[in-house]
Chains A and B, each alone.
Chain A
């Protein structure tokens, strides 16, 4: 079981969610984050003074899924979040030890089995 953490452009979020849905992934967590990598600072101006926005607004998707799903999920995210310019974001993959469902109290070694059991 793995957790995929993808930090992407906010304007690509809808497209990315559609891309994930196309490969059958419908459950994830999204948060608004700011941060920086290689993307150039945005030039701002306030009261006649130039300033730089050094932390860019991004959204973070967190998806926990079975190992066999990881590669195609990453491919789907890249395909839909990619623009080719600095600031497209990053994807990190973490190992996950256990998963529980709060409503049913069930646990499983595999999150997808947990989800499938319900249906």
Chain B
């Protein structure tokens, strides 16, 4: 009986930590995008936390954990997720809240990759679609008792595949279909750098994400009496640290400077990659997994530039590629069933299959959402909106106001001719020097 109290406290706190990661996503993105779009990315995180949360509670949860049909989809619990029967000592409301945090994280991954050029209404459709069907469906396959990937024995402890790989490849499909931001790629194929608005702000976002990740991974035990909770948290820390270390040294060697945005993304990559295996691998394995992911993120970022997919914050490289790697890494490093530890490759095969399934479903889901947006509210911001910046176009307020540029001056103060009807300009002959072309 005491355990249920302890579990309740632990999981509610862990859920709050996971939901706090939304703040991390918000600051990370606001720091990485250009100044004129910093409000827009923040508002998109609010869409996740509001519309996304409700959509998941009403419909998504039922698809994910409802009564299983053919191992494919859940079909009950719509509108009352609390009625789920849990076999663990935990109030179902705590479980629902925790799962909601996961769903929102998955949406927020996509928000970064489509930043600076997507229509705001299209983003609302996107957030709702991911929350209602795209995330819960593959989540059902992997995590629900009757899911077909779960039945094959796929191991994804806290969601490298179910959350990160899925979100990353939905993001990939949507970023690809949206096209790059205006002026991002030159005609010769090279990429231009767009000035990030604020690196310390992005770093603050990374620190919050890192903190939240302890709730994300260790909370996935759903059991406060589980002593592996501590080693899960330690594995999480080690993988994040080694991901950042690898990225820092690699950029130092490759570009001659320790690149802050790559270091941030290296840390996040380590955290993403260990998410699947944090409960199944040793501490040295966690360090190796983190280090490899720190290298993968840099190569993946360069690859995306090469194939001209514009991902302003690196969401595809961080979550997509390393979600897949983290899922496969369980098949290699798992203490009981991994290829490197036991020589048995059957788990590795299942992990491969699971990761591939999630990638295919992510790409398909992203493409479908893009199509729905195109047919309904419009997918991409207009050229004018994009040039002016989505902050002013969609939200009516810029992010930073160093100079007071607002006024309620009467028009007559500055538009003399229009307000008085008196012409002051002499209409003589004009020389036009303009040569356009």
- How would residues 15 to 59 of chain A score, 1 for a CB under 8 Å from any chain B CB and 0 otherwise? 000000000000000000010100000111110000111111100
Which residue on chain B has the smallest CB distance to residue A51? B406
Closest 10 CB pairs of A and B: A45-B396, A44-B396, A55-B405, A54-B407, A11-B387, A75-B435, A78-B434, A51-B406, A46-B397, A79-B436
Complex alpha-carbon distance, A30 and B245, angstroms: 38
Which B residues are in CB contact (< 8 Å) with A11? Answer: 387
B433 within 8 A of A: yes
A75 and B406 within 8 A (CB):
no
Which residues of B lie under 8 Å from residue A94 when comparing CB positions? Answer: none
> Contact: B436 with A78, CB < 8 Å?
yes
Give A40-91 interface residues, CB cut-off 8 Å to B: 42-46, 51-57, 71, 74-75, 78-79, 82
Nearest CB of A to B217, in Å: 39
Q: Does B408 contact A (CB under 8 A)?
A: yes
Known A34-B405, A52-B408, A54-B414; contact A82-B396, beta-carbon cutoff 8 A: no
Q: List 24 A-B contacts (CB under 8 A).
A: A14-B192, A36-B414, A42-B392, A43-B396, A44-B392, A44-B406, A45-B396, A45-B397, A46-B397, A51-B406, A51-B408, A52-B408, A53-B405, A54-B414, A55-B403, A55-B407, A56-B405, A57-B405, A74-B433, A75-B434, A78-B433, A78-B435, A79-B437, A82-B434
Q: Which residue of B lies closest to A75 (CB)?
A: B435
Q: How far is the CA of A54 from the CA of B192 in the complex (A)?
A: 31
Cβ–Cβ contact B433 & A54, under 8 A: no
B384: nearest residue on chain A (CB-CB)? A85
- Answer whether residue B426 sits at the interface, using C-beta atoms and an 8 A cutoff: no
Task: State how many residues of chain B have any CB contact under 8 Å with chain A.
Answer: 20
Residue of A nearest to B395 (CB): A45
Bound form: Cα–Cα A74–B431 in Å: 13
Q: Which residues of B pack against A, CB within 8 Å? A: 183, 192, 387-388, 392, 395-397, 403, 405-409, 414, 433-437
Q: Contacts A71-B433, A75-B433, A78-B434 given; indicate if A52 touches B406 (C-beta within 8 A).
A: yes
Q: Chain A CB within 10 Å — which of B408, B434, B435, B437 has the most?
A: B435
- B436/A54 in contact, CB under 8 A: no
Contact of A54 among B395, B406, B434 (CB under 8 A): B406
Residue of B whose beta carbon sits closest to that of A38:
B415
Complex interface: chain B residues within 8 A of A78 (CB) = 433-436
Q: How far in angstroms is the closest Cβ of chain B from A94? A: 17
Q: Given the complex, which residues of B lie within 8 Å of A42, measured CB to CB?
A: 388, 392
- For B434, the closest partner residue in chain A by CB is A78
Residue of A nearest to B182 (CB): A11
Residues from chain A with a CB closer than 8 A to the CB of B408 are 51-52
Query: How far does the Cβ of A14 sit from chain B's closest Cβ, in whole Å?
Result: 7
Complex CA distance for A14 and B396, rounded to whole angstroms:
26
Beta-carbon nearest neighbor of B183 in chain A: A14
- Docked complex Cα distance between A11 and B34 (Å): 12
Residues of B within 8 A of A45 (CB): 395-397
The answer to whether residues A53 and B392 also contact, given A34-B403, A46-B397 and a CB cut-off of 8 A, is: yes
* B397 x A54 contact (CB < 8 A): no
Give bound CA distance, A54 to B409, whole Å: 8
Q: Please, which residues of chain B bring their CB within 8 A of the CB of A57? A: 405
Q: Who on chain B is nearest to A50 by CB?
A: B396
- A82 to B405 alpha-carbon distance, docked (Å): 24
Partner of B436, one of A44, A51, A52, A82: A82
Q: How far is the CA of A52 from the CA of B410 in the complex (A)?
A: 11
Bound CA–CA A45/B393 (angstroms): 10
Chain B hits for A44, CB < 8 A: 392, 396-397, 406
Q: How far is the CB of B301 from chain A (nearest CB, A)?
A: 22
Q: Which B residues are in CB contact (< 8 Å) with A54?
A: 405-407, 409, 414
